[in-house]
Amino acid sequence: MLSPLLYCLATATLAAASSNVYIESFAKPSLHWKQANDPVMGGKSTGTFKIDHQIGTFNGDVVDVPFLKAPGFIKVSASGKFPDVSTCDSLVLFARSSSNYTGFRVSFGTAHANPKSYAYGYKAHFDAPVGDSMSMVRIPFNMFSDLWNDGTGALIKTCREDSKYCPDTKTLQDMQDLSIWGEGVGGQVDLEIGSIYASGCETMVEPLTDAGPGSCSAEIQPALRYNISNTLAAQEWALPVPPGETLASAVCCDASYKAYAEPPHMFARPDIDLFAHMNKNGTTTFYDSVCGQALFIVPKGRTMADFEADTTEHGWPSFRSEELIAGSSHIVNETGEVLSKCGTHLGSYLPDDKGPRWCLDLSCVSGNPK
């Protein structure tokens, strides 16, 4: 099932814009994952990897190889059919950690900068966000390199520093291998990953019309919940927001932008952190960002954890039938667009194998009751 943004992009054909290409979602894994420990004789680093509750969990301990007196590594690698990400500019992990481990690295491909080395692939360091909520970890492709130290995994020179170490087009068209490492730094590895994708990808979309703003019954409320009114997420959007418009007014009210969704996983940004602001011991009501109409009450018919998993897997707040307030919105059958009772664009109706599902823009359902 395509996300609202990719669903719209898949039907358009004319102009270039920026989007995301998903490589793996642990809600519905498509790659084969295998964990491995340091093969050096006497290596004592050990790890595990499992996929459970729509999350890939990588745990273990990186310790010194006794005779080297230096830390070894653990890693988990994926193989299978990889999408073409050659038009993209970054790799993104949607992840979190419960430890302050500083030796995380990610690699892809089978390139060798030094044919005498056993090391292969383009590698980069990343810092995993520590906390209860997952966040996006963006690693530009120009920060990768296939010139790195065999013993520590540390980069010797990045693509940005010398273009001959940049990921080549052939590798980006088919990574063949994708690995997450705990390497070169001793300590406890505890990493959870929801999804992996490439961002800043060129795609072909239909050009904007000149319909302009004004499809909503009134202006967007001035102080939306979850810090939506103050978010800088518009800077990461696939399309520029016109002068005088906010991300919310463009997504929810401007007819020119009807085909587009807010950035995926925007709900998890540190300056928004939707889950942290929801009632963990009761329910949370979501309201139209224009007229304040009550739309959905969460959770109903499932647990809060179910809502969080559904939303995390999809990338946008995802609601189910029992959570819908009857008569508060309707679905445009021809397009799957969801409109509130007062006419605000909310997102898309995208049922999955679990049944009816409303996949909506947080920007449009963060209103205050009136």
Q: Say how far residue 21 (Cα) sits from the centre of its chain.
A: 10
Start-to-end CA distance of the chain, whole Å, equals 35
Please state the φ and ψ torsions of residue 164, each to the nearest 5 degrees.
-70, -10
Q: Each residue's pLDDT tens digit in the chain (370 positions)?
A: 333 333 333 333 333 444 678 898 887 788 999 998 876 555 788 999 999 887 999 999 999 887 777 888 999 999 999 999 998 999 999 899 999 999 999 999 988 766 666 668 999 999 999 988 888 899 999 999 999 888 788 999 999 999 999 999 999 999 999 999 999 899 999 999 988 988 887 754 333 333 344 578 899 999 999 999 876 544 556 566 667 778 899 889 988 777 778 888 889 988 899 999 999 999 999 999 999 999 999 999 999 999 999 999 889 999 999 999 999 999 887 778 899 999 999 999 888 878 899 999 999 999 999 8
Please state the φ and ψ torsions of residue 80, each to the nearest 5 degrees.
135, -155
The pLDDT value recorded for residue 260 is 78
> What are the strands, taking DSSP E only, across 63-170?
64-65, 70-71, 73-79, 90-97, 104-108, 122-125, 135-140
Copy the structure tokens of residue 343: 């006419």
Helix, strand, or coil (residue 6): helix
pTM tops 0.75: no
Strands 284-287 and 32-37 come out as: unpaired
Q: Annotate 119-138 with three-state secondary structure.
A: CCCEEEECCCCECCCCEEEE
Q: Say how far residue 285 (Cα) sits from the centre of its chain.
A: 25
Residue of 361, 336, 329, 19 lying closest to 220 (CA atoms): 361
Q: Where are the domains of the chain?
A: 21-200, 209-364
The answer to whether the beta carbons of residues 56 and 193 sit under 8 Å apart is yes
What fold characterizes domain 21-200?
A: Jelly Rolls (2.60.120)
Please state the φ and ψ torsions of residue 207, each to the nearest 5 degrees.
-70, 155
The pLDDT value recorded for residue 136 is 85
Neighbours of 359 (CB within 10 A): 27
Q: What angle do CA 204, 173, 313 make, to 5 degrees?
A: 70
